[in-house]
Structure 1
Amino acid sequence: MKFKLKTLSAMCLFGLTFSVQAGSDLAKQAETISKKYVIADLHVDVPYRLKEKYEDVSQATESGDFDYPRAKKGGLDAPFMSIYIPASIEAEGGDSTAVANELIDGVEKMVAQSPDKFALATSPTQVKANFKEGLISLPLGMENGSPIAGSMDNLKHFYDRGIRYITLSHSLSNHISDSSYDEKRPAQGLTDFGKKLVTAMNNIGIMVDVSHISDQAFEHVMETSKVPVIASHSSARHFTPGFERNMGDDMIKAMAAKGGVIFINFGSTFVSQESIESFNAYKEAGMKFLKEKGVAIDSEEAKAFSKAYLEKNPTKFATLDIVLDHFDHVVKIAGIDHVGIGSDYDGVGDSLPTGLKDVSTYPNLIAGLLKRGYSEQDIEKIMSGNLFRVWQQVEDYANQHRSK
């Protein structure tokens, strides 16, 4: 019996050693892949983060999910800088066009201050050239089309400033499209101007982004667009039933059939139903507290309540495996050519999953994909190949249109 126990112990130890070795090999392979190919992330909210509280992201920063050292560690080469325009600006009669220009100015300042680290990029060709030079590209995507302000001249202006995708609406319906978050759906999809704008975006070479818009608006986009469209930071509704902000299976398939790509959002409340329910319970308790006590949301009483609630009911974060489930699902129903990365770093607060807390962690995602049997070629498509394909198709269509 004693011999058998020793043998069993040796077998367990051998198994553990094998497991650790296998994990180590995957980590090394993931690290190699992360540096070998371009990693593009379609949605990183650095510009608005810096507008609210400036930090020099060319150096290590104490807050946020993105800075240069962490990006280099994670192999990030082309984070699309989100020119995020809060819906409240337009709703309250503010000048969202001016805010968009201010945020683009901020990205250009980042590049001007650190030309040895960052570079602008307005095409796949430029991203690839910057990659060869060891520079992190900062392409631009506009989150919320309100800065267009009903003017095709503004569309041309923002194209000239480098915008290469536009998320048609955000948390409220606007003059372009109804929003998935807004109970009011005045256009019942896209507005008449919105349909014209989609055509104009096709013609000028700006990708149409269907993240945030209502299901009916998505249908209108699919009917109108002559080129593939993207969802820059959405996940699969299959795992979050009833959450319209994510994409249903039929939507993903329809988008893929026209060559489009869904870029998976990492936020816990985008990928995990348990996280959604946990957050909703916290939100409901908070609103009840504010109403009963008659205090403001930014009051000391409210902050104390939040702290006490979260100590008793910790946030239920998603995991790396849950995020990987979304990639698997899209590949299963639509194919490997129609999924990519749209993390929403710096945009979803502290709700990021374990294992994917900031831009240094893309190798964890790659290791997870390897563990699930994805080939290096598959992973290259997810990291940037699918983006480059759809972006180039949009660019080629616009060039053909201009040559006629």
Structure 2
Amino acid sequence: MSQKMLLTLCFSFIIITSSTLSGQSIDAALRAKAQQLAERYIITDGHVDLPYRLRIQNFRPTKEYLGIPISTKDGDFDYERSKKGGLDAPFMSIYIPASYQTEGGAKELADSLIDMVSAITVAHPDKFMLANSPADVRVAFEAGKIALPMGMENGAPIGDDLSNVAYFRKRGIDYITLTHSKDNLICDSSYDTTRTWNGLSPFGREVVAEMNRVGIMVDISHVSDSTFWQVMELSQAPCIASHSSARKFTPGFERNMNDDMIKALARKGGVIQINFGSTFLDGKVAAQRDSLRALLQDILAEKDLSFRDDAAEPIIEKFQQEHPALFADVNTVADHIDHVVALSGVDYVAFGSDFDGVGDSLPTGLKDVSMYPNLIMELLRRGYQEDEIAKICYSNVFRVWRQVALVAEFQQ
């Protein structure tokens, strides 16, 4: 090898190594900055399904039992992982399955889940605190505690009694998702093709007005498109989508919001809180998962089994090992945020993970509540400024929360 060729190779090696080290240094600096911002700023999350998960596990939040929600490998949320990720104000989902609309007991279930959240704060007063306003969240943050505001997912517990809206406000409910997977007495669901009301029911219109009056945020996640547009016309206060993403990336998926809806929500001063579930983020992932589920269902049917049968468990486990599911990643979540910002600006987007509510479909890099810094790091990489990240982390949600309270004050 000639001396000239040797020198060329040496210089090339130096340049490549220097570039790699430079990239590593940039990543390390971004990661450190992201962790710093996660600790400096309040982080809100519009939707965490911890209460219903704990109910399924027959949880008793006593001081003697510290495993959940303090430290556990189960689920997506606990105290230690929240502190690691900088999560300060996860809205606890008071989730009411649609079956309670026909079988009864919706109000009783809601009360029991609210009692559970309250009991967690009583059992662990040094770690958790109930919150019904941005001011409460800030008090908790300054005390080093995790604030637990609550949102009721499905308005079914209201029943046909309008006074229950004020009742649940007094019980600490800060938002109500008008329906869930089926049409209810309030409105139509995005998942239900029945279209019982073609939007809001007459009673549902009263419910929205009453939510404005008592200061409960109207959540349009899960509702049909017709319901959404009628809420935009009717509500006197800005609204939220507590855990929805952009339909642009999941064509035909009505559960997400299309561009016109995102812009309309913003014009009213509201905020879309991006859902982290892979099927909410990427239509290709959703299609692949649907295909695998159908294949597994056929395998079980051949053996006269259902997904819930004990005998199906080893078959399901083997199938999952042989057919690993696709996942979105933290970049995809940032893509959704970018899209909302491009449509409406940075003032109208936030986090609404749906942790503990979307099963195993969480994206790579955002598998539990310890990983918000990964998303903040990606936003920094894309050029978001610190004040913009603060808006996404908490101040956009705080603005809507305060405005809803002001609208209620003027109506008292």
Q: Which runs of 5+ in 1 are unaligned?
A: none
In structure 1, which of residues 181, 193, 201 is the aligned counterpart of residue 211 of structure 2?
201
Indicate yes or no: 2:6 matched with 1:6: no
Structure 1 position 211 matched with structure 2 position 221: yes
Q: Residue 71 of structure 1: which of 82, 107, 117 is its match?
A: 82
Which residue number corresponds to residue 15 of structure 1?
Answer: 19
CA contact (8 A) 1:172 1:182 kept: yes
Q: Which moved more, 1:365-374 or 1:281-290?
A: 281-290
Paired residue type of 2:79: Y
Select the residue among 254, 261, 284 that pairs with 1:251: 261
1:130 Cα deviation from its structure 2 partner = 1.4
SS for the counterpart of 1:142 is: strand
**Match in the other structure for 2:142:** 132
Q: TM-score, length-normalised on structure 2?
A: 0.95
2:28 to 9, 24, 27: 24
1:361 aligns with 371
User: Could you say what secondary structure the match of 1:183 adopts?
Assistant: coil
- Cα separation, 1, equivalents of 2:56 and 2:275: 23
Contact 2:69 2:77 in 1 (8 A): no
Displacement, 1:58? Answer: 4.3
**1:128 offset after TM fit, Å?**
1.1
CA RMSD of aligned residues (A): 1.2
Q: 1:48 to 1:58 in 2, by over 3 A?
A: closer
Amino acid corresponding to residue 101 of structure 2 in structure 1: E
| Structure 1 equivalent of residue 63 of structure 2 | none
Of 297-306 and 338-347, deviating more is 297-306
After TM superposition, list the pairs within 5 Å mapping 1:5-404 onto structure 2: 5-53=9-57, 54=59, 56-91=67-102, 93-402=103-412
Q: Do the aligned partners of residues 294 and 344 (structure 1) sit closer, same or farther apart at CA in structure 2, a change above 3 Å counting?
A: same
DSSP 3-state at the match of 1:141: strand
Following the alignment from structure 1 to structure 2, what is the Cα–Cα distance between the partners of residues 310 and 125? 45
Kindly tell me the number of residue pairs found equivalent between the two proteins: 401
Contact conserved, 2:245 with 2:256, CA < 8 A, in 1? yes
8 Å CA contact 2:297–2:306 kept in 1: the answer is no
Contact 1:203 1:397 in 2 (8 A): yes
Q: Please list the CA deviations of residues 35-75 of structure 1 after superposition, one character each: whole Å capped at 9, or x if unmatched.
A: 11110001000100100113743421021111101000111
CA distance in 2, matches of 1:331, 1:127: 26
Shift of 1:310: 2.4
SS at match of 1:234: coil
Deviation string for 1:224-261 (max 9, x for gaps)?
Answer: 10111000000000000000000000000111111010
Q: Which amino acid in structure 1 is aligned with residue 392 of structure 2?
A: I
Conserved 8 A contact 2:162-2:206: no
C-alpha contact (below 8 Å) 1:290/1:297 kept by paired residues: yes
1:302 CA displacement = 3.2
Q: Distance in 2 between matches of 1:292 and 1:94?
A: 35
Residue identity in the other structure for 1:78: A
Secondary structure (helix, strand or coil) at the match of 2:195 reads coil
Counterpart of 1:361 in 2: which secondary structure?
Answer: helix
Q: For each residue in 1:330-378, what CA deviation from the matched residue of structure 2 results, as whole angstroms up to 9, or x when unmatched?
A: 0000110100000001111111000001000011111000000000000
Q: Post-superposition shift, 1:300? A: 4.5
What displacement does 1:293 show?
A: 3.3
What secondary structure, in the 3-state scheme, does the structure 1 residue paired with 2:88 have?
strand
Which amino acid is the alignment partner of residue 88 of structure 1?
A: S
* Separation (CA, whole Å) in 1 of partners of 2:166 and 2:142: 30
- Fraction of identical pairs, as percent: 50
**Cα distance between partner residues in 1 of 2:397 and 2:212:** 16
| SS of structure 2 residue aligned to 1:364 | helix
Deviates more, 1:321-330 or 1:3-12: 3-12
- Structure 2 unaligned blocks of 5 or more: 60-65
What is the alpha-carbon distance in structure 1 between the residues aligned to residue 358 and residue 317 of structure 2?
A: 19
Paired with 2:410 and 2:269, the residues of 1 have a C-alpha distance of: 18
Comparing 298-307 and 209-218, the one that deviates more: 298-307
